[in-house]
Amino acid sequence: MSNRFKPKFNIKKGDTVVVIAGDDKDPKKPRKVLEVFPDKARVLVEGVNIVTRHTKPSAQNTKGGLVKKEASLHISNIMLWDSSKGEATKIKRTRENGKLIRISKKSGEVIK
């Protein structure tokens, strides 16, 4: 993907989000973002979209078998969690002292 038209996302690693679409949809249960993949527009969220992988025995893993782990989901299926309001919120970005800050649209508070 070229950098010229690269989209900007309001979700960062470590943010608290809720899943608003899909099998793990739960708009009242906040979860933590483990990793963001901006080039693919996908996010890895803790405890969401669990998939089972079959692994062969290796030097590190002497026992093979089934391994359950999180798979990424599209960034459009999550929303940022506003802890002061206790619900999902949209974000607006503004500049303050030359720095870009994120502000919750519901409560108007700065998101760290």
Domains recognised in the chain with CATH numbers: 16-55+64-111 (2.30.30.30)
CB neighbour list of residue 45: distance below 8 Å, 6 or more residues apart: 17, 19, 31, 32, 33, 34, 70, 73, 78
What pLDDT band is residue 1 in, cutting at 50, 70 and 90?
A: low
CB 81 within 8 A of CB 30: yes
| pLDDT tens for each residue of 19-69 | 999 999 999 999 999 999 999 999 999 999 999 999 999 999 899 999 999
- pTM metric for this prediction: 0.83
